[in-house]
Amino acid sequence: MLEHEYQEYTLHLQVEKGASPNTIAAYQRDILKLLNYLKEHKINSWQEVDKYILRQYLMEMGKQGLTKTTQARNIAALKSFFKFLYLEKYTAHNLALELESPKKEKHLPVYLTIEEVDALLAAPDVRTPAGCRDKAMLEMLYATGMRVSELINVRQEDVSFELSYVRCFGKGSKERIVPLGSYALEALEKYIYTCRHKLIQDTQTEILFLNKQGKGLTRQGFWKILKAYGKKAGIKTNLTPHVLRHSFATHLLANGADLRAIQEMLGHADIATTQIYTHLLGQQVLTEYQQAHPRAK
């Protein structure tokens, strides 16, 4: 009985919500934990679930030492699921109203200096097909602030050399257009016209960036590539694709870019998500003041 509604909800996320595969997988994991908990406690219908059972479950989850971010995502998944159950009349009460998200831990984004970015972008050996590809990927990632999931799904037709932009699809399959600078365009042109054919095996594939087997890269595959170049460039920061995304936004803001334009390029639904970069800029101003003002020390 429990599984039927779970399967219906998964289909709802895919078809009606258009959620990304990563979001669907995360929500499935969170709801399956609840489902297994209910089975262990001999609960076989969602109608039997009430706020007291839900609170007991959340208390059990709280003992597992999950981060606030993971807890928040877990609550978001449950809220979405119980709202679905209520709207589809699988439950008489909307238990989503009983759930409160924990306050997220506020961490300022980690970003690279311009010098570190330059060293990273210079690390690939463009004389090899893989190095040529990696140079193009890194240049595109820094030029656009894309998420890694967006980068590995870019198709060749999504890049416009004439209009200097790339089209990508973000969370919820939302399409956006992001400008490309001359360095990224040059690296992409070299990869597409001189290197990509050396990696391709299936002439039908539309994916732009390919691995040595001629298939699209995975997130894990790109992660390993990035880590290796970070080490080669002597970068001490824990380098992840999101660090380049943060670097893109921070460097744009520091050089006078409009916050709304950055929001649009990053694909943030809420300007509040983008505003965290203003805190970084505030820190930078304070540091410069303390270093430069004669009476700051």
**Which of 73, 79, 135, 245 is the catalytic position?**
245
242 is catalytic: yes
Please report the pLDDT score of residue 196 as a whole number: 93
- Of 74, 98, 122, which one is at a domain's C-terminal end? 98
Q: List Cα–Cα distances, 186 to 17, 133, 146, 183, in angstroms.
A: 37, 12, 18, 5
Q: How many residues does the chain have?
A: 297
CATH number of the domain to which 174 belongs: 1.10.443.10
d(CA 123, CA 245): 18
Q: In terms of domains, do 158 and 271 share one?
A: yes
Q: In terms of domains, do 151 and 242 share one?
A: yes
Please report the pLDDT score of residue 155 as a whole number: 95
Choose the most confident range, by mean pLDDT, from 88-97, 146-155, 247-256. 146-155
Q: Is residue 106 part of a domain?
A: no
39 is catalytic: no
147 is catalytic: yes
Q: Could you tell me which residues are beta bridge partners of residue 179?
A: 165
**For residue 283, is pLDDT > 80?**
no
Q: In terms of domains, do 182 and 269 share one?
A: yes
Q: In terms of domains, do 275 and 214 share one?
A: yes
Q: In terms of domains, do 53 and 184 share one?
A: no
Strand positions, DSSP E, 71-174: 159-160, 165-169
197 is catalytic: no
- Of 45, 66, 98, which one is at a domain's C-terminal end? 98
171 is catalytic: yes
Please report the pLDDT score of residue 280 as a whole number: 66
Asked if residues 165 and 177 have their Cβ atoms less than 8 Å apart, the reply is: yes
**Which of 79, 147, 196, 246 is the catalytic position?**
147
**Which of 171, 176, 227, 232 is the catalytic position?**
171
pLDDT over 70 for what percent of the chain? 90
**Which of 242, 246, 251, 260 is the catalytic position?**
242
268 is catalytic: yes
Please report the pLDDT score of residue 22 as a whole number: 83
d(CA 83, CA 90): 10
Q: What does the pLDDT look like over 203-238, one tens digit per residue?
A: 678 899 999 888 899 999 999 999 999 999 999 999
Range of the domain at 22: 2-98
Q: Is residue 203 part of a domain?
A: yes
Q: What does the pLDDT look like over 57-86, one tens digit per residue?
A: 888 888 887 777 788 888 889 999 999 999
User: Chain centroid to CA 47: how far?
Assistant: 35
